[in-house]
Each structure stands twice: as C-alpha cells, then as structure tokens.
Chain A
Amino acid sequence: MIRHIIRRLLILIPTLIVTTIVIFTIVQMTPGDPLSLYESPEIKLTEQERARLLAQYGLDKPVYVQYLLWAGRFFTGDLGTSFNWKKPVWDLVMERVGATVELAGLSLLLALLVAIPLGTLSAIKQYSMLDNTVTFFAFIGVALPNFWFGLMLIGIFAVILGWLPTQQMLTPGFSGTGLEWWIDHLRHLVLPLVVLSTAQVAGFSRYMRSQVLEVLRDDYVNTARAKGVRELRVIGKHVLKNALLPVVTLLGLSLPFLLSGALITEQVFSWPGMGQFFWKAATARDYPVIMGVLAMISVVTLMGNFLADLAYAYLDPRIKYD
C-alpha cells in the first residue's frame, strides 16, 4: 500500500509539471501586448513606465525563466496580483470558492442520492418499464444543454409562474437573519442545483446500472441466493457493496466535468462563484487570474483523482498493487 502511494505520488509530480507548462504556454500564445490593459487612446505609457512595468511583472526575462518564476511562486501559494481587481489572486479566489463548493458539492450529493437507487433498481429490473424509462431520461439528461435547461427553468418557474427567484444567492437588499436568511438562500439555490444535478444523475445512474448488472452475474451472488439469503439482503449487502466501489473512482474522474458544468450554471444564474469570476477575468484578459485559476483547478482535479485512487485501493482488499 505504501509503495502504491509513493508510486502514484511519483507519477503525480511530472503530471503536475506538464500541466503547468501547458497552462503557461496557452497564456504565452497571447497575441499583442500584455500591457495593453494599462493603455487607452488617451493614456499612452512612456518608455520608462513600460520598462518598469515589464520588470515588475518579470516580462523582461526569457520565457523559461518566466515559467520557472511563475511555477515557483505558484507552488508556494503566491498566485500573483490581478490586473483587473488589483488584489492578490489568492484572496479573490478565496472570496468566491465557497459559493462554488456549495453549489457543486450539494449537486454532487443530490445526484448520487438520486442516481444510486435509480441505477440499482433499473439493473435489478433490467428491461422493465422502469428500466426503459430511466434509460430514456438518462439520454435526455445527457443531451440537455445545461445553459438552455437553466434558461427554460427560469422562464417557467420564475417568470411565468413566479415561484422562484432567478439570479444571485440572495434577494438584493435582503436584510433578514437566521431562518429567514436560510429560506431566501435556499429558494435561490433550488434551480441551479437542479440544473447542475441533472446531467450527473443521467451519467451516474447509467454507470451504477452497468456496475450492478456486472456484479449480479458473479458467483458469490448465486452462492448467497443458494444459501437462502433474502433477495433484499443479497442486493444490500453483497451486490451494492461491490457495485459502489468503482463509483469512488468515477467521483474523482468526474471532477473536471462537474466544475465545467458549475461554470455554465453559475453564469446562467449569476451565482457569484469561481466560474463567474473566471469568466469575467477571461473576458477582461486578466492573465494572472486566468493562469492562477486554471492551475489551481488542475491541481484540485489531480488531487481528486489521486485521493479517489487511494480510496479505491484502500476499500477494495482484492486489489494488490505490488
């Protein structure tokens, strides 16, 4: 086990380096002048100011030195200063990461709570009415563009029916506290949560179904049945336990997908999280933020995969890693 962890860690390091190089290269492809943000038709930079700014951002050094400097700062937690907000990128991220974690985390939880029973049921009753219905809706859920789904929900539940709010996390100017605050907040959370969960439910339930179908064919399930164990116990104890194992790995792998979905959902509902922040930064060409956020998200996904892999190895004693 220890050897397995060390080996995975050793793979993680070059992956991290390549990832940061790719990010750095993408930002380097920028055509035009990185200092154009400081200029406008009225204000032109003098040669001296130009040189000072280039030196301040380290842009006067060769590219590989710039990369090493940036990577060095990144791995010590210094993400630089935003051009646009004139604040450290790290602080800006910290202000917004909570909203995204709340939305993405809850939607993942909701998706699993719906998808695991649904997938299991449709596997147990394969080709039944229920299974066909779930399959059909899974196809719809995967094909539904989340931005359009979100807009349609806004149109129906907020505009036409007037039941739910459409934008932000709280009603603007809301001053209630305690329970009132929570009710207002939850009302704002409902629609984005449904939108972000739908595609995940579709994906996870299909995966769960195929896993359960696979386990159901195993000999030990027959053995348990032959011993006279009740069906409910066979499913609950023998089948589910084994079918759920690979889901752990899937959780790690679905992180990029979840974050991408969260970005669009945040944009649809003006949810003030990382996605919206990143979009604003990108459209303003705020390079320190673009690089910092890309690198941070990549590190988080890599760590997610790493942890999922370890959890899988820990949970499944049948796997030997030496």
Chain B
Amino acid sequence: MAQQLSTQGLGERAQAGGLQHRTYFRLFWSQLNQSPLAMGSLFILVALCLAAVLAPWISDVVAYDPKEPFVGGRNEGPSAAHWFGTDHLGRDLFSRVLWGSQISLSIGLMVALLSVGIGALLGAMSGFFGGKVDTLIMRFTDVWLNFPGIFFLIAIVTILEPSFWNLIWAIGILSWPSICRIVRANILSLKEREFILAARAIGAGGFRIIVRHLMPNTMAPVIVNATLTVAGAILSEAGLSYLGLGVQPPTPSWGNILFDGKPFLITGQNFWYTFFPGLFIFITVLCINFLGDGLRDALDPKVSTKR
C-alpha cells in the first residue's frame, strides 16, 4: 500500500514537471524516431506494402493488366504511357513489377513467420530443458547451418515443383536456425534470473514459464532477426525465380521478370527490362536491413542510439 502511494506521488510529480508517462512502445518509438535511416526505410516499406496490396486497383486505374500482351510495342524503354517500359511480349513492366511485389513481399513475410515459429519453439525447448534435448537440437541446427542454402533450395523446389507455397516452406525450413540459436542463448541467461525463480516458487509449470515469462523477454532480438529473415527470404525467392525455379509465368515476380529479361539485356535490346525489378529487390532489402538495424538499437536498452 505504501509502495503504491509513493509511486502514485512520483507519477504526479513527473506530470507536474512536464514528464509524460511512457509505455514501452512509446519509448521504443521515440528511440526509433531518432534514426532517420530507419524511419525513412519504414516509410518506404509501408509505401511498398500498400502498393502491393493496392496493385489490382493501381494497375486498373493508371496502368495496364500485367498479363495482357501488346498493350505497347515490344521492348520499349520507359515513357509516359509505360513508366518502366514494356517487355518482349509488349506487356507493361510497371504493372508487372507492381504485381510482382505481392509475391516477393508475401513470401518474405510468410517465411519469416514460419521460421520464427520453428526457431522459437526449438530454441526455447533447447534453452529451457538443456541437457540431452539441448545437445540434440543444437547438433541438428549445426547440420542445418552447414547446408549451402541455394543448392538445397534448388533441390527441394525442383523435386516438389516450383510453386508459391512450396517456395515458402522450402525457404522457411532453411532459415530458422539463426532464430533458434538466438532464442536459446537468451533463454539460457534469462532462466537463471530471479523472476523465473519467483515464478517457479509460486508453482508455475514449464510451459507457463516459457510462454508467459521467457518468450516475451526474448521478443526484441527475435523481432530484429525476423526482420532480417524477411530480407533474406526475398533475396532467396528472387534468386530462385531468377533461375527459373520460382513462381511460374505468366504470374510476375521480381525474380522471374529478371529471368525473362536477361536475353534482351545481353543482346542490348532492353536495359530497363532487368533494371527496374532488380532495383525494387535491392531497395526493399536495403530498407529492411536499415530498419532491422534501427530496431536493434531501439529495442535494446543497452545500446545507446547517441553516438
């Protein structure tokens, strides 16, 4: 009771002194606000996601159907009618790149979800139970980290047929180990802390301790890593599509537009064909990495954002 009274007093004094009550989210937001790179990246990414969601409407109003051939001439450069030019079938490239962002962004997000799911579960089990479970999971993680990514993706995707969902689970199943390791390392140090002892003392079970007490405290590094996983997944998807093993035509994705455009680049017929889809991959990945870096600083109270 006395404790409560004194904190109440503190709150009143803080408000009187012009200080605001700050929630964890507010604190995090104000930290993130200090990094113009991260905020700029966040803005671009939000705009990209909006464009991807609104792609049907945008291409209907200001552009063309992405699958419709001969809306312009073949292999035209950028112009007022076709902002990114046209491809070898005379399809509008702006529209194709716009629709392609749906594939890339959704695969990126789904892969991050999947690998956070697998990684957090295995990492939490490994860190919390320790002993044989830990050794087994960690050995398994080592095996996984040794796989040269793209070779395995190619094998899995060609064996299962390239498709949207096969890409997600193939890339997802390959990208969980880093999250698993981070969660494990965090839980190993967290579980020795007093608040876990307190939870045990009042009789909380293993499951409850993991879900209610340990996992929320590992959220910060997991969020940062999940952000970077999105970037990695977008690169993997684009790489596979570039090899002709991604989402199959005529559905456009950033990678398969590159794959289609390569011959026309080499023969010098259309430089812009491959320029724009790649530029979008590059900018998206760059922004995600900047955002991830900003999140790392904002979510970690130990790292000061002031240099």
**Residue in A15, A145, A159, A282 whose CB lies within 8 Å of B239:** A145
Knowing A151-B262, A259-B151 are in contact, say whether A29-B285 is a contact too (CB < 8 A).
no
Interface check A235, CB cutoff 8 A: no
Q: How many angstroms between the C-alpha atoms of A257 and B178 in the bound complex?
A: 14
Q: Within 8 Å CB of A11, what residues of B?
A: 139
Most chain A CB inside 10 Å of its own CB: which residue of B239, B279, B289, B307: B239
Q: Is the CB of A260 within 8 A of B146?
A: no
Most chain B CB inside 10 Å of its own CB: which residue of A159, A160, A305: A159
Q: How many angstroms between the C-alpha atoms of A194 and B55 in the bound complex?
A: 36
Q: What 0/1 readout, one digit per residue, does chain B (274-286) give for beta carbons within 8 Å of chain A?
A: 1101110110011
Q: Is the CB of B258 within 8 A of A256?
A: no
Segment of B44-52, B74-82, B156-164, B198-206 in the binding face: B156-164
Q: Within 8 Å CB of A139, what residues of B?
A: 286, 289-290
Interface check B238, CB cutoff 8 A: yes
Q: Is the CB of B265 within 8 A of A294?
A: no
Q: Report A64 CB to chain B, min CB distance, Å.
A: 19
Q: Within 8 Å CB of A294, what residues of B?
A: 151-152, 155
Segment of B13-21, B108-116, B241-249 in the binding face: B241-249
Interface check A220, CB cutoff 8 A: no
Q: Is the CB of A159 within 8 A of B265?
A: yes
Interface check B271, CB cutoff 8 A: yes
Residue on A nearest B234 in the bound complex, by CB? A145
Q: Is the CB of B140 within 8 A of A18?
A: yes
Q: Is the CB of B265 within 8 A of A155?
A: yes
Q: Within 8 Å CB of B265, what residues of A?
A: 151, 154-155, 159
Segment of A86-94, A108-116, A296-304 in the binding face: A296-304
Q: Is the CB of A145 within 8 A of B268?
A: no
Q: How many angstroms between the C-alpha atoms of A42 and B151 in the bound complex?
A: 33
Knowing A15-B142, A27-B159, A145-B285 are in contact, say whether A152-B147 is a contact too (CB < 8 A).
no
B113-147 contacts to A, CB under 8 A, are 139-140, 142-143, 145-147
Q: Is the CB of A19 within 8 A of B149?
A: no
Knowing A19-B146, A256-B148, A301-B146 are in contact, say whether A143-B282 is a contact too (CB < 8 A).
yes
Residue on B nearest A28 in the bound complex, by CB? B159
Interface check B196, CB cutoff 8 A: no
Q: What 0/1 readout, one digit per residue, does chain A (96-128) give for beta carbons within 8 Å of chain B?
A: 000000000000000000000000000000010
Q: Report B161 CB to chain A, min CB distance, Å.
A: 8
Q: How many angstroms between the C-alpha atoms of A272 and B268 in the bound complex?
A: 23
**Residue in B143, B158, B242, B277 whose CB lies within 8 Å of A282:** B158
Q: Within 8 Å CB of B231, what residues of A?
A: 143
Q: How many residues of A contact B (CB 8 A)?
A: 52
Q: Is the CB of A302 within 8 A of B146?
A: yes
Q: Is the CB of B271 within 8 A of A263?
A: no
Q: Within 8 Å CB of A187, what residues of B?
A: none
Q: How many angstroms between the C-alpha atoms of A278 and B275 in the bound complex?
A: 27
Residue on A nearest B283 in the bound complex, by CB? A143
Q: Is the CB of A148 within 8 A of B160?
A: no
Interface check A279, CB cutoff 8 A: yes
Q: How many angstroms between the C-alpha atoms of A154 and B142 in the bound complex?
A: 37
Q: How many angstroms between the C-alpha atoms of A167 and B160 in the bound complex?
A: 30
Q: How many angstroms between the C-alpha atoms of A264 and B307 in the bound complex?
A: 39
**Residue in A26, A143, A279, A290 whose CB lies within 8 Å of B243:** A279
Q: What 0/1 readout, one digit per residue, does chain B (23-41) give for beta carbons within 8 Å of chain A?
A: 0000000000000000000
Q: Within 8 Å CB of A143, what residues of B?
A: 231, 282, 285-286, 289
Q: How many angstroms between the C-alpha atoms of A167 and B267 in the bound complex?
A: 12
Interface check B188, CB cutoff 8 A: no
Q: What 0/1 readout, one digit per residue, does chain A (116-150) give for beta carbons within 8 Å of chain B?
A: 00000000000100000000000110111101100
Classify chain B: how many residues form its interface, as a range. 35 or more
Interface check A201, CB cutoff 8 A: no
Residue on A nearest B161 in the bound complex, by CB? A31
Interface check A190, CB cutoff 8 A: no
Interface check B10, CB cutoff 8 A: no
Q: Within 8 Å CB of B267, what residues of A?
A: 159
Knowing A260-B151, A279-B154, A297-B148 are in contact, say whether A15-B285 is a contact too (CB < 8 A).
no
Interface check B266, CB cutoff 8 A: yes
Residue on B nearest A29 in the bound complex, by CB? B159
Q: Report A8 CB to chain B, min CB distance, Å.
A: 12
Interface check A56, CB cutoff 8 A: no
Q: Within 8 Å CB of B279, what residues of A?
A: 148
Q: Is the CB of B143 within 8 A of A15?
A: yes
Q: What 0/1 readout, one digit per residue, does chain A (10-49) give for beta carbons within 8 Å of chain B?
A: 0100110011001000110111000000000000000000
Q: What 0/1 readout, one digit per residue, does chain B (211-253) give for beta carbons within 8 Å of chain A?
A: 0000000000000000000010001001100111100000000
Knowing A29-B160, A159-B266, A282-B155 are in contact, say whether A18-B139 is a contact too (CB < 8 A).
yes
A: residues with CB less than 8 A from B are 11, 14-15, 18-19, 22, 26-27, 29-31, 127, 139-140, 142-145, 147-148, 151-152, 154-155, 158-160, 166-167, 253, 255-257, 259-260, 263-264, 267-268, 278-279, 282-283, 285, 290, 293-294, 297-298, 301-302, 305
Q: Given known contacts A142-B289, A160-B271, what 6 new A-B pairs fall within 8 Å (CB)? A: A15-B143, A26-B155, A148-B281, A260-B150, A290-B158, A298-B146
A-B contact pairs, 7 of them (CB 8 A): A19-B147, A143-B231, A143-B285, A145-B281, A159-B266, A160-B271, A290-B155
Closest 4 CB pairs of A and B: A148-B278, A256-B148, A143-B286, A260-B150
